[in-house]
Structure 1
Amino acid sequence: MEKTNASFIEPVREVNLHSSKWAMQNGLKKFQLMLESFFIKKGYLLLLVGFLLGRALILAKLTPFCLPFFASVYLIKRDRAPLALIGLIIGAVTISLTNAAFTFIITILFMIVFRICKKWIINDMKWTPFIVAIVLGLGKLAEAFILSRQLTLYDLMMVGVQTSLAFILTLIFLQSIPLLTFNKRRQLLKTEEIVCLIIMLASIMTGTIGWKVYDLSIEHIMSRYLVLVFSFIAGATVGSTVGVVTGLIFSLASVSSFYHMSLLAFSGVLGGLMKEGKKIGVSIGLFIATLLIGMYGEGGGSIQLTVLETAAAIFLFLLTPQVLTSRLAKYIPGTPEYTAEQQKYMRKMRDVTAQRVSQFSSVFHALSKSFSQMEIQPKEDESDREMDYFMSNVTEKTCQTCFKKDQCWANNFNTTYAYMEEIIHEMDQNDGNVSSKLSREWEKICTRSKRVYESIGQELTFFQANQKLKKQVRESRRLVAEQLLGVSEVMDNFAKEIQRERENHHKQEEQIMEAMQSFGIHIEQVEIYSLEQGNVDIEMSLPFCDGHGECDKLIAPMLSDILGETIVVNKEECATYSNDFCHVTFRSSKAYTVETGIAHAAKDGGLVSGDSYSTIELGLGKYAIAISDGMGNGERAHYESKETLLLLQKILQSGIEEKVAIKSVNSILSLRTTDEIFSTLDLAMIDLQNASTKFLKIGSTPSFIKRGNKIIKIQASNLPIGMIQEFEVDVVSEQLKAGDLLIMMSDGVFEGPLHVENYDLWMKRKLQGLETDNPQEVADLILEEVIRSRSEIIHDDMTVTVAKIKHNTPKWASIPVQKLKRQA
């Protein structure tokens, strides 16, 4: 029984602990929100800051903080300006009533001048520092003259100092106050804003000079606490900066505090260097700095007092919640929190962009589906309805006034309807002619047969035009649907690519660096973006190599052995001087390469050929070879063929599939002009990973593959581009092998030989007789043979492209690395 009770009590205790912990966290969160609401949203933080700045002094006499602070609050948070003014006056009262009166008067004077100047000022932020400096300078001059009835050189110098300080402090406060007033800041801090924030915090703390608790100086405790916080958050650089700036401002406020600048600076350096030890490490850094600097003496007080002040600062620092330091760290460059916040922002922007692209893809897909659904062939009842309309229009002009209409349409409706329908079909099929047999039979029935023929002919013209127009609309819709679907697929793939993050390969990066360093190669940095087979992507930073080619000769061969595939240098940016770094990108090598040779000639030896050709290396490891032959010769044919290839290249490079790309080019060319200008297209798409090839032939001549003594013919039947708006693209696929020659040609070459009946056999015989496999030599020999067969007369534009498929053999063999094998 006791055991059962114990087993029951344990879960109850865990639940109670969890609920109490949750209640405590909830209470702390509510307390934090309440404090934020009180100090930031309601603006009472400005009241506190105004109080401290109101009693802050420079050189134990000057008070340049009041007006710049009020002017900045007035400009940024005008509804909180009264709270800031109350705080400033209360703080000034603690110094003297005269100082409080001067603060109030100079503030009122500033508001009057600012209101007057606002009529001519366009940019308030730009001119406010000048207005503050002028108003404060005139006020101090008036104060000095009233008190002493004369102005000395010393008075003028002090007024100049205060004016300069007021100008600079206004600029600083204008950047710093938004950090205190906006609790939901999204932008990250710039370096200038961080320095301004430090100066403002140090200036605020000067208002605590003279405050003591049990002989411990509040300003010393708070300044060391400030250094501890920034050293812990941002490291030695920012920590030492905070120490120097804070110490300098305290030394200006009180000359006796000058030694504190070295203590705070040294504390910032040591604390930042020991930040890996968390809060305890930073605290130890401050404690060591206090002991070392304290041994030199500080001109007053004892080392025991200094150590106690440091202990108090450390105590406050240890009590500081992690939430506060983490929140502040998000805005300071160089911190892990800052980097995480940036990555979070970039991921958010990436996701938003990908979502928008995906939405556009969905829109295009929906539009494509909508156009596809509209593409419905006429149904039988619709065809019958059209025939009925056709008949009614014909009978209205002929039968309506005939005396035999009742006999024809009332007594013999089916017979009359069938004969007229047959006449309409025959006239439609035979260009308006009717067979003699049908004509004789119809004349037996109808007394106005000739008039009926004429009426049907007239109506048939309109009917055919209407049917042709409907067909063109349907074809256009189909083309638009296919193009929209292609764009939708491209955008969908693009959205997926955006969402792919850089993969985490820290372990592999370290292993590669170790392997390189064990081989004697110093690598500064390695970044792996992908280790996917055939799609490796690695970036490296190396010291100055002086052009010795280490990347090609050593690093790429070693990576090839490590990753189990051929790696080559894709891009290299060499250092320009000895202390700089080289940046190199390594990518997977393609399994095959293509070497091309091209020979072409214009008709009659002219300069402008109607043929155009292009070799395009596309992304995703594809290589395209294309020949286009414009109708006829000369500039117009050259323009048409060149335009065809240019459009095709742009569309293919966008990632749209080959079929859709060719249909898009066809629709553009067919809709662009009413002239009968056509172009042929011969396209070969070679996959460099496996040498598989797609042939798309639009009105073009056959192509040939030479594999040793074997000749393979590639042929497809499609009308030229631009001739009709709708056609199906026949795709012929063929697997090429290393050593194959792919020969593509225009009709001027294929049909060029004179007195040849079978062009296929002639071309195959010539290709089999070739004794070279150099692509350029093969292209030149074929063109020369065709021209010689024509008695050296170039009767048409001629173009030959020859591509040789080769294994991609790297220049350097892989270097074995014993410690590592494939890292993927």
Structure 2
Amino acid sequence: MIDRSGVTKMNGQAVSSVGVVNTWGWFRGKPKVENVQVKKKLGAWQSLLMVLAIGFLLGRAVILLQLLPFTIPFLAVIFKWKRSLTLPAAFALIAGSTSLSFTYAGHTTIAILVYLLLQSVMQKLDKKEMFLPVTVFLAVAITRFISLSLPGEYSLYHLLTATVEGALATVITLIFFQSVPLFLERRKHMSLKHEEVVCLVILLGSLLTGTVGWLIYQLSIEHVIARYIVLVFAFVGGATVGATVGVIMGLILSLATVANLFSMSLLAFAGLLGGLLKEGKKVSVAAGLLVASLLMAMYADNQSSLPLTIYESVAAIALFFLTPKRWTERLASYIPGTAEHAQEQQKYLRKIRDMTAGKVEQFSELFLSLSHSFSFHDKKDEDTEKEREVDLFLSGVTENTCQMCVRKTQCWSRDFENTYGYMEQIMKECESRGEVKNRSLLSGWKKHCLTDERVIHMIQEKLKEREVERRIRAQLVESRRLVADQLIGVSQVMGDFARDIQREKKVHELQEEEMKEALNDVGINVDLVDIYGLDPGNVDVEMILPSNRYNEAEKVVAPLLSNILNEAIVVKQSEPISPSSTEAKVLFGSTKAFFIDQGVAHTAKGGKWVSGDSFSTMELGEGKYAMAISDGMGNGRRAHIESQETIDLLKRILKSGIDETVAIKSINSVLSLRSSEEVFSTLDLAIIDLQDGMAKFLKVGSTPSFIKRGTQVISVEAGNLPIGMIQEVDVDVVSEQLKAGDLLILMSDGIYEAPQHVENTDIWLKRMIREMKTSDPQQVADLLMEKMIRECNGEIHDDMTVLVAKIDHFVPKWATIASTSRNWA
């Protein structure tokens, strides 16, 4: 067991728990450290063996009968990449050259010595080794010029040959810098560029050059391995990659031996055929090599016998079929454009996405916890709290009045109940009336206390101080409540954002094929269909069309998709694949079931320029539309600032995704806390869901709104105080179902209160709206404004604002096309 001192007691003996934990951690961690060290040693040995093998083969690589352009570039890359392996690499290069002849060995040895000498000089001049290719050029060119000039003959041809080999070695150095580290390093996640793939193939071809002349049962090793490499890359990367690899491998082999010139055609053709037939798996790719081998052998002017060529191809095919699937998948994950590469990238992006979503969720939970902390309040008994507050208050009064009184002991020791009761009654009297007007209480208190007037005066002073403290405390509570509400809103937004991040493209292969068939039935051959979502109201489909020159996407494809999905689909975006191509990438998506046509009439008091009313209409996203009117207290610039600030705060908070009720409470808290002056504004907010037509009305101190549906006029109202007037506001949410053709009318109090001679304004406005013949929202707004001004004999007694919105079904410009019904569940 473990006691509080942190000491573990085992069998009566005290042992430090920290020591036990550390010992256990050491015991568990020791094998891991040893495993890491073993892996490092194995990796070092693998790198050494790989360098020795590559160096040996490159030391044997001769092109154009006499040039050795691969040795010094490889040594330079090893010197730059892992300097500790420079000496083994040099010995491997010399060993490879020795296997050819002692002449090549001597040339390689001199070239290595010249390079090391020049490198030591260049290191002093170039600390960052930026001119390493220049060093390679000088070492190779000087060595070749010396070897050609040893017989005593100096000619321009020797200088030209040395320059060509030096330039070729410089290019190979740049290639090896990209390919050798890729060949030797083992990285878990690696994405190659197209240039890096080409450099890697050039390195493989250079290594094959070192195998020239090697035979197994009369089969050329370089031919078998070259065809095997072409098969693998064609199977992995397709026709483009296969043909590219074939050309590169054939070109390098033909430089090594002129007799291998026909190999370039064979390998390129085999790579092209194998890549085109890769959908048939390994069998079809192998068939492509056999066809290419037969054709090239039959029409190669007897450069190679047909049976030998077929045997070499069969040997390559055998190696190809013996290659494990995980090897080809691993290679495919490195090559851009392959499905495996895309999946690897998706895994990486999914990991990053999940990490980001996890961080966002953590912040969401943090904000929610902070909100609970700010909104926490101790639920004690209110009567006990009030008694404690009274006790503290009277204690403060007695400290300044009764402490120096001669009757202190008499009043508070012998007659405590009576004294306390008198002072409590006086406190309540002063708190409610401002002074003591109860004469019986005054007379009784005078008989009881020697300093009666001083005590009453002190109670009044303390009550003033307590009132100030209450206001400060109320502002503090309101501030905490505001912060808590805001944190809850932010937590909800971040939680929704985290879920949006984790939303993936679902697999809709069956639906994609059925869409292609439906489009083919009407004569449109679609190259690609990607369905990202089929949720009602949130359809997201991307297509590549052969052409959109005549708006086929809008006129044919969109109505066809609407008929298939039983939902209005429109073109969200359309753009050509490339400037020279007629193909177009088109994005289709759900449109809103309803659309809004609005009208507004607005004027200031007395016809002035600045109005105390402010209004706004906005798209909130997710198919919601908001209309808002705010009326600041009074008129003029100050009222305009108040109402405009309310509207601006509302727009920012609603667009952030925070719930509208929280938004209004937050605005109220901000406006009520920022100033001690009596400033407030009304707010009339209507939020319409354009998918189902449901409207939510949030009214804070505003006038009623009206919905005109044919000859029926519906009044929408709520009785809340204006924003900023009190610190805690209750927001009533009224919901109404709107229908196509409805007119929604929002107005400020300047319009509603304009007809002063009317007793029942609500009935009068309903009758006037009902009698209007037009349904155009702008005309309705203008007629209402004109009618109110006429009712006031041409005078504008207050700021007036009218917002009118007409809701109607969204009808696309096209007509639907009948199609066979399909199941999209």
- The TM-score, its normalising length taken from structure 1, stands at 0.90
Residue 56 (structure 1) aligns with: 61
- Superposed displacement of residue 116, structure 1: 5.3
Q: Distance in 2 between matches of 1:577 and 1:76?
A: 43
Secondary structure at the aligned position of 1:778 is classed as helix
Q: Distance in 2 between matches of 1:118 and 1:223?
A: 39
Q: Distance in 1 between matches of 2:507 and 2:626?
A: 35
Q: Distance in 2 between matches of 1:505 and 1:411?
A: 90
1:806 counterpart (783, 793, 808): 808
Is 2:728 the partner of 1:726? yes
Q: Distance in 1 between matches of 2:546 and 2:282?
A: 37
Residue 26 (structure 2) aligns with: none
1:515 counterpart (507, 515, 518): 518
- Checking the alignment, whether the CA contact within 8 Å between 1:297 and 1:303 is kept in structure 2 is no
- Checking the alignment, whether the CA contact within 8 Å between 2:47 and 2:184 is kept in structure 1 is no
1:275 counterpart (270, 273, 278): 278
- The 1:50–1:456 alpha-carbon spacing in structure 2 relative to 1, beyond 3 Å, is same
* Structure 2 letter corresponding to 1:438: L
- The 1:297–1:519 alpha-carbon spacing in structure 2 relative to 1, beyond 3 Å, is closer
Is 2:305 the partner of 1:302? yes
Secondary structure at the aligned position of 1:723 is classed as coil
Paired positions, count: 789
Residue 782 (structure 1) aligns with: 784
- Superposed displacement of residue 206, structure 1: 0.6
Residue 73 (structure 1) aligns with: 78
Secondary structure at the aligned position of 2:100 is classed as coil
Q: Distance in 2 between matches of 1:813 and 1:791?
A: 51
- Checking the alignment, whether the CA contact within 8 Å between 1:541 and 1:583 is kept in structure 2 is yes
Q: Distance in 1 between matches of 2:265 and 2:580?
A: 37
Residue 368 (structure 2) aligns with: 365
Residue 661 (structure 1) aligns with: 663
- The 1:88–1:462 alpha-carbon spacing in structure 2 relative to 1, beyond 3 Å, is farther
Q: Distance in 1 between matches of 2:214 and 2:525?
A: 57
- Superposed displacement of residue 710, structure 1: 3.2
- The 1:231–1:573 alpha-carbon spacing in structure 2 relative to 1, beyond 3 Å, is closer
- The 1:171–1:757 alpha-carbon spacing in structure 2 relative to 1, beyond 3 Å, is same
- The 1:569–1:378 alpha-carbon spacing in structure 2 relative to 1, beyond 3 Å, is farther
Is 2:87 the partner of 1:82? yes
- The 1:715–1:194 alpha-carbon spacing in structure 2 relative to 1, beyond 3 Å, is same
2:500 counterpart (493, 497, 501): 497
Residue 489 (structure 2) aligns with: 486
- The 1:302–1:809 alpha-carbon spacing in structure 2 relative to 1, beyond 3 Å, is closer
Task: Report the RMSD for the aligned CA atoms in angstroms.
Answer: 2.8
Is 2:136 the partner of 1:128? no
- Superposed displacement of residue 331, structure 1: 0.7
Q: Distance in 2 between matches of 1:271 and 1:534?
A: 45
Secondary structure at the aligned position of 2:734 is classed as strand
- The 1:35–1:717 alpha-carbon spacing in structure 2 relative to 1, beyond 3 Å, is closer
Residue 229 (structure 1) aligns with: 232
Residue 751 (structure 2) aligns with: 749
- Superposed displacement of residue 669, structure 1: 3.5
Is 2:338 the partner of 1:335? yes
Secondary structure at the aligned position of 2:744 is classed as strand
* Structure 2 letter corresponding to 1:365: L
Residue 588 (structure 2) aligns with: 586
* Structure 1 letter corresponding to 2:421: A
- Superposed displacement of residue 120, structure 1: 6.2
2:609 counterpart (586, 607, 614): 607
- Checking the alignment, whether the CA contact within 8 Å between 1:552 and 1:568 is kept in structure 2 is yes
Write the mapping of 1:631-710 to structure 2, written as runs, cut at 5 A. 631-673=633-675, 675-710=677-712
- Superposed displacement of residue 745, structure 1: 0.7
Secondary structure at the aligned position of 2:541 is classed as strand
1:544 counterpart (544, 547, 556): 547
Is 2:466 the partner of 1:463? yes
- The 1:723–1:481 alpha-carbon spacing in structure 2 relative to 1, beyond 3 Å, is same
Secondary structure at the aligned position of 1:384 is classed as helix
Q: Distance in 1 between matches of 2:212 and 2:324?
A: 26
- Checking the alignment, whether the CA contact within 8 Å between 2:613 and 2:643 is kept in structure 1 is yes
1:450 counterpart (453, 459, 481): 453
Q: Distance in 1 between matches of 2:564 and 2:67?
A: 70
* Structure 2 letter corresponding to 1:801: L
Secondary structure at the aligned position of 2:376 is classed as helix
Q: Distance in 2 between matches of 1:754 and 1:167?
A: 95
Is 2:741 the partner of 1:739? yes
Residue by residue over 1:15-57, the C-alpha shift from the partner in whole angstroms, topping out at 9 and shown as x without a partner, is xxxxxxxxxxxxxxx9xx9999468744311110011111211
Residue 418 (structure 1) aligns with: 421
- Checking the alignment, whether the CA contact within 8 Å between 2:434 and 2:460 is kept in structure 1 is no
Q: Distance in 2 between matches of 1:577 and 1:551?
A: 19
Identity, in percent, stands at 50
Is 2:138 the partner of 1:137? no
- The TM-score, its normalising length taken from structure 2, stands at 0.89
Secondary structure at the aligned position of 1:596 is classed as strand
Q: Distance in 1 between matches of 2:189 and 2:172?
A: 25
- Superposed displacement of residue 409, structure 1: 0.4
Q: Distance in 1 between matches of 2:101 and 2:379?
A: 93
- Checking the alignment, whether the CA contact within 8 Å between 2:297 and 2:304 is kept in structure 1 is no
Residue 25 (structure 1) aligns with: none
Q: Distance in 2 between matches of 1:112 and 1:672?
A: 78
- Checking the alignment, whether the CA contact within 8 Å between 2:671 and 2:723 is kept in structure 1 is yes
Residue 768 (structure 1) aligns with: 770
Residue by residue over 1:580-610, the C-alpha shift from the partner in whole angstroms, topping out at 9 and shown as x without a partner, is 2333333334333322111111222223322
Q: Distance in 1 between matches of 2:576 and 2:203?
A: 45
Secondary structure at the aligned position of 2:285 is classed as helix
Residue by residue over 1:252-288, the C-alpha shift from the partner in whole angstroms, topping out at 9 and shown as x without a partner, is 1222222211121122122222323333322222222
Write the mapping of 1:210-225 to structure 2, written as runs, cut at 5 A. 210-225=213-228
The unaligned stretches of length 5 or more in structure 2 are 1-34
Residue 630 (structure 2) aligns with: 628
- The 1:464–1:35 alpha-carbon spacing in structure 2 relative to 1, beyond 3 Å, is closer
Secondary structure at the aligned position of 1:697 is classed as strand
Secondary structure at the aligned position of 2:529 is classed as strand
Residue by residue over 1:702-728, the C-alpha shift from the partner in whole angstroms, topping out at 9 and shown as x without a partner, is 212223333322222223223344322
